[in-house]
Amino acid sequence: MRRIALAAGIVAALAGCWYEVRLPLGAVACEADSDCGEDGLICRLGRCGCSDPAKGGFDCTTTCPAGRTGLDCNACLDPRFGGDYCSTCIAPHFEADCETCERGYRRDGAACVDIDECATDNGGCLHGATCSNTAGGRTCGCTGDWSGAVCGCPKGMIGLEGGSFVRGDGADEQSVVLSPFCIDPTEVRASAFAGAGEGATPATGMNWAQAKDFCAGVGKRLPTEAEWEFAARGADGRLFPWGDDAPTCERAAFGACGVDSPATVGSFASGASPEGVQDLAGNVWEWVADCFAPYGADGERNPRADAADCTHRSVRGGGYSSPGASLRSGDRSKLAETNGREDLGFRCAMDVVP
Ligand SMILES: [Ca+2]
């Protein structure tokens, strides 16, 4: 049996007879087809569902195998849980035995009951984010002019919770602690950098001071090197923003893809981090705020290397002509801060607004 991901208010499953629209417990489901409010749904035994084979359902009163003719067909396979072998499990049960519960539910006898993940400590949601229980588990979110799991980031930026993580790749590693911060979801576009035009490819060719000044001009700043790496790596230590799988041309623009210019920003949805930060790996290298220097002692909070005599800044993520290894979340390279390159751009970050 195939497990189908559930969106709130949608459906249970079904490889079997009936495609049932999921409704809150105790809800008056329907008395007539018109109550179901959507084309292709019909009211049957008080519930809305689909009998259209094209949508995964069919009417089991006529098509169930002999001996498996449950009237409802909205039951589990397993008769212990009301099953009639005609259909698959009713959400929130899933799996063939109907004994496992979806995320967000726990077993209580034969039933799956809601876990209120928001009941304790606001579900761990920070900085004014609202916790809501959904079929997929707890979700932290903001309303109005704020966005992301961390409220306090302007719409259009992504809020990251920060915390402890280990940065570095190999010999030079450091455990650091970051405060929550906001980061642009993509590299800065050429059109934005120039102040006009439609170009959706990244701005490139600027030196470090020009990148820094642009961010300051829009009320932001360059990400610190640790923030940039946290966005790519996460607290779970991903080798690449999307996980540990090696880069492919579906996930990122890099040397193996044979391109000689950057792609439109945000072209590689499958290369995004879990929080939705795109193009960290590949497309264009990115300036960060830090001077290139060895990492410091473990436990540093919000580190930023910025010596007065700094000449070389860190650049991160690799570009469209880089080898795959340069795309690793922990990989770093350096460049004289007065240089620019056609495969080097930047993105901006900012502190969370209290
Ligand atoms: Ca990049």
Q: What is the pLDDT of residue 114?
A: 74
More confident residue, 320 or 73: 320
Q: What is the pLDDT of residue 290?
A: 98
Percent of the chain with pLDDT over 70: 67
Residue 80 lies inside a defined structural domain of this protein:
no
Clarify whether residues 342 and 278 are in a common domain: yes
Ion ligand 1: residue ranges with CB closer than 5 A: 279, 283, 286, 317
Of the ranges 26-40, 101-115, 220-234, 272-286, which one carries the lowest mean pLDDT score? 26-40
Residue 93 lies inside a defined structural domain of this protein:
no
Residue 51: pLDDT band with limits 50, 70, 90: low
Residue 59, pLDDT > 50, answer: no
Question: Among 36, 56, 76, which residue terminates a domain?
Answer: 56
Residue 345: pLDDT band with limits 50, 70, 90: very high
The arithmetic mean of pLDDT across residues 28-33, rounded, is 69
Clarify whether residues 122 and 189 are in a common domain: no
The arithmetic mean of pLDDT across residues 291-297, rounded, is 95
Clarify whether residues 140 and 198 are in a common domain: no
Clarify whether residues 122 and 186 are in a common domain: no
Whole-structure pTM value? 0.64
> Structurally, how many domains does the chain consist of?
3
Measured distance CA(135)–CA(105) in Å, rounded: 8
Instruction: Indicate which CATH number applies to the domain containing 297.
Output: 3.90.1580.10
| HEC secondary structure over the chain | CCCCCCCCCCCECCCCCCEECCCCCCCCCCCCHHHHCCCCEEEECCEEEECCHHHCCCCHHHHCCCCCCCCCCCCCCCHHHCCCCCCCCCCCEECCCCCEECCCEEEECCEEEECCCCCCHHHHCCCCCEEEEECCEEEEECCCCECCCCCCCECCCEEECCEEEEEECCCCEEEEEECCEEECCCCCEHHHHHCCCCCCCECCCCCHHHHHHHHHHCCCECCCHHHHHHHHHCCCCCCECCECCCCCCCCCCCHHHCCCCCCCCCCCHHHCCCCCCCCCCCCCEEEEEEECCCCCCCCEECCCCCCCCCCEEEEECCCCCCCHHHHCCCCEEEEECCCCCCCEEECCEEECCC
Q: How far is the CA of 116 from the centre of ligand 1 (A)?
A: 39
Residue 152, pLDDT > 90, answer: no
Q: What is the pLDDT of residue 17?
A: 43
Residue 72, pLDDT > 60, answer: no
Q: How far is the CA of 262 from the centre of ligand 1 (A)?
A: 9
Residue 106 lies inside a defined structural domain of this protein:
no
Q: How far is the CA of 70 from the centre of ligand 1 (A)?
A: 56
Q: List phi, psi (to 5°) of 141.
A: -150, 165
Clarify whether residues 289 and 248 are in a common domain: yes
Clarify whether residues 232 and 134 are in a common domain: no
Q: How far is the CA of 202 from the centre of ligand 1 (A)?
A: 9
* Domain span holding position 140: 117-144
Clarify whether residues 30 and 128 are in a common domain: no
Q: How far is the CA of 284 from the centre of ligand 1 (A)?
A: 4
Q: What mean pLDDT, rounded, does the chain reach?
A: 78
More confident residue, 330 or 48: 330
Angle (CA) 279-282-283 rounded to 5° is 75
Q: How far is the CA of 287 from the centre of ligand 1 (A)?
A: 9
Percent of the chain with pLDDT over 90: 48
Residue 192: pLDDT band with limits 50, 70, 90: very high
Clarify whether residues 183 and 289 are in a common domain: yes
More confident residue, 7 or 231: 231
Q: What is the pLDDT of residue 130?
A: 81
Q: How far is the CA of 92 from the centre of ligand 1 (A)?
A: 40
Q: How far is the CA of 193 from the centre of ligand 1 (A)?
A: 16
